[in-house]
């Protein structure tokens, strides 16, 4: 069963792993271990930690070598390329959702929390590929699946994240810096959810939910921009 999973995913991403367990670990979400206590591998969070750093380095190197733009612009473009929303979308390019190992409860959730799991899975996959085959295959993978999105990001101004844009607009139009407050949080440690409100002085002008405070803040800022018509 797992051999078939591994083989199919290898075909979709175009790389054959020498150590199949590395790829299998990259697919193992923390929740899976709760129901499969005899599973022979750890969850994928350490690989995610490594993959995040490899991804950022390769994207940074690409931008530095190919664009003469100021540091601030390159930083914004990089943030747009490595954020969870884009990585979750890219996970769909090779059907990662079909391969991630989850608990039965987690498998039923197809909302924002799943998107966050998929984004983390992409980073874990990059970490596993780096350990298995080194830098150059990672560069090829990231070029094929992630860097191709840069043209669209620049053309559609998607590097202007809602939180930064709302702060800029709020300071310009009303002379106030937005403040963010956690309104609610729920769920187990491996799948927390947050509801955050954004305030202009004492007025709550928007709210949003997400699997991290940062994601929820972005959703709150997006909501506020829409409600204010900015």
Kindly report, as residue ranges, where domains of CATH 1.10.1520.10 are found in the chain: 2-155
Which listed residue (48, 106, 123, 223) is catalytic?
123
52 in catalytic set: yes
pLDDT single digits (tens) 38-70: 999 999 999 999 999 999 999 999 999 999 999
Kindly report, as residue ranges, where domains of CATH 3.30.160.20 are found in the chain: 162-228
123 in catalytic set: yes
**Residue bearing the bigger pLDDT, 151 or 1:** 151
Residue 226 has pLDDT above 80, yes or no: yes
The pTM is what? 0.76
Residue 25 token pair: 């670990």
CATH number of the domain at 162-228, out of 3.10.180.10, 2.60.40.10, 3.30.160.20, 2.30.30.830? Answer: 3.30.160.20
pLDDT score, position 192: 85
pLDDT single digits (tens) 109-158: 777 778 889 999 999 999 999 999 999 999 999 999 999 999 999 988 77
Residue 5 has pLDDT above 90, yes or no: no
Interval 161-169 mean pLDDT:
87
CATH code of 2-155, in short, is: 1.10.1520.10
Q: Is 180 helix (H, G, I), strand (E, B) or coil?
A: strand
pLDDT score, position 4: 85
Interval 198-227 mean pLDDT:
93
pLDDT score, position 205: 97
Q: Measuring CA to CA, which residue among 177, 175, 193 is closest to residue 185?
A: 193
Which listed residue (10, 21, 48, 52) is catalytic?
52
27-36, 90-99, 109-118, 128-137: least confidently modelled range: 109-118
């Amino acid at each position: 069963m797992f051999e078939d999973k591994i083989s199919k995913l290898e075909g979709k991403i175009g790389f054959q792993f020498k150590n199949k367990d590395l790829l299998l670990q990259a697919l193992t979400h923390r929740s899976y271990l709760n129901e499969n206590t005899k599973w022979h591998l750890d969850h994928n969070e350490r690989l995610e930690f490594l993959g995040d750093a490899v991804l950022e380095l390769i994207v940074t190197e690409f931008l530095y070598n190919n664009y003469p733009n100021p540091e601030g612009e390159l930083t914004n473009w990089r943030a747009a390329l490595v954020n969870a929303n884009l990585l979750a979308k890219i996970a769909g390019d090779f059907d990662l959702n079909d391969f991630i190992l989850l608990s039965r409860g987690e498998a039923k959730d197809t909302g924002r929390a799943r998107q966050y799991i998929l984004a983390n899975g992409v980073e874990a996959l990059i970490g596993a590929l780096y350990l298995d085959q080194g830098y150059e295959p990672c560069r090829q993978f990231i070029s094929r699946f992630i860097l191709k999105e840069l043209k669209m990001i620049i053309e559609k101004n998607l590097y202007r994240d809602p939180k930064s844009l709302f702060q800029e607009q709020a300071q310009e139009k009303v002379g106030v810096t937005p403040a963010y407050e956690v309104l609610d949080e729920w769920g187990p440690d491996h799948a927390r959810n947050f509801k955050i409100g954004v305030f202009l002085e004492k007025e709550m002008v928007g709210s949003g939910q997400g699997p991290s405070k940062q994601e929820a803040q972005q959703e709150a800022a997006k909501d506020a921009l829409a409600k204010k018509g900015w």
